[in-house]
Amino acid sequence: MASVKLTNVKKIYDKNVVAVHDFNLEIKDKEFVVFVGPSGCGKSTTLRMIAGLEEISDGTVEIDGEVVNDLQPKDRGIAMVFQNYALYPHMSVYDNIAFSLRLKKLPEDQIYERVTNAAEILGITEYLMRKPRALSGGQRQRVAIGRAMVRDSKVFLMDEPLSNLDAKLRNQMRAEIILLRQKLDTTFIYVTHDQTEAMTLADRIVIMKDGFIMQVGTPDEVFDMPDNLFVAEFIGAPKMNIIKTKLLEENGKYYVTPFGAKIEVDGDKGKALADRKVKSGDVLLGVRPEHIELAKAAAPHAIPCKLVVDEMMGSELHLHVDTEDGNRLIVRVPTLDLDKEQRKALVTGAQLYITFEGKAMHLFDPESEKNLLA
């Protein structure tokens, strides 16, 4: 139930290793913000600075308008869930969840009420007497969340809470976190390296790399309009195809020329290019695998290529294809779109034709790697 504001926050370790550069962000009350990025990008460090577990080298962190830089973690009104759960091994589940309440010297009957209440929500009532080591990974994760829940904290911090779980359990817990959020109705800051988690959970995503924020936006924004090449490649799976090509401007219309084809950048994107008076020149063309379609040989702008690998994912196929000049592209085809004959024809070495539409294209400056339209 609080806003969090980070102003020019920096983290500099000894020997001038900068982990976080000039981090600026305002998190609104009850917002669910996800920090995402590859390992070492500074996302966990930022979270830990908010928690007070890491000293803030420069800048200020405010929670509910109060500068908390010099406050101990316990005085910041936060709760936190750790990646490896950090359950106290010598205490039962009940004692684990009750720990913070006991430190606050709450009366035992109130503690009992709160702990059992949280346990019920999380479905761990029957394990309350057990020690953490007798629990499965998913159960431990629930206890860790329960421990954070009972604290009535202003901000809920989660540091890669699902990354120690197996894939199936992770999906299940992800859904439960969404439900939990609805119940708790408080501010969440969530750190993960998994873009799927970020996309499914977040109100807003903060994408980081090497200590810099690459983009802040809603899941839709970062997917549809990535600010730069890094975000474009990081968000979406399989990752976006990037093709080196040229942008041509003819009579106010824009074309790209991948693999000899000449495809018009039409729709809003073409208009936007014209509005900005973008000149012809080298460009990086990005197309998401799901926006490429298989086509007939005769189709306009069809690009010929050879099938190298096909991965059957169930509902869809991931086709890895080589174009004639040796570029590897990935094409994502819904299984339903293919009839039996077509499916049979997809063998290694098969000749295929692909096309994509102008509105699905992302254009990046090859020098700055910035989106031409951002």
Residues at the site binding another protein, with contacts judged by CB under 8 A: 51-53, 72-74, 78-80, 82-84, 86-90, 99-100, 103-104, 147, 151
With contact defined as beta carbons under 8 Å apart, do 215 and 204 qualify? no
Based on CB atoms, which residue is closest to another protein, 78 or 256?
A: 78
The structure tokens listed for 230 are 């890094």
Buried b (16+ CB within 10 A) or exposed e, 166-203: eeeebeebbebbeebbeebebbbbbbbbbbebbbebbe
- Which lies closer to another protein via its Cβ, residue 90 or residue 244? 90
CB of 89 to another protein, least distance (A): 7
**With respect to another protein, which residue has the nearer C-beta, 132 or 286?**
132
CB of 90 to another protein, least distance (A): 5
Q: How far is the CB of 176 from another protein (least distance, A)?
A: 20
Burial class (CB in 10 A: 0-12, 13-18, 19+), 40: middle
The torsion defined by the Cα of 295, 296, 298 and 299, in degrees rounded to 10, comes to -30
CA distances from 138 to 141, 142, 172, 177 (A): 5, 6, 9, 12
User: Nearer Cβ to another protein, position 15 or 340?
Assistant: 15
By beta-carbon proximity to another protein, the closer residue of 73 and 358 is 73
Residue 337: CB minimum distance to another protein, A: 44
| Of residues 51 and 56, the one with the C-beta less far from another protein | 51
Residue 85: CB minimum distance to another protein, A: 8
Tell the smallest beta-carbon distance from residue 147 to another protein (Å).
7
Q: Which of 148, 103, 100, 87 is nearest to 122 (CA)?
A: 148
In the block, residue with structure tokens 């290793």: 17
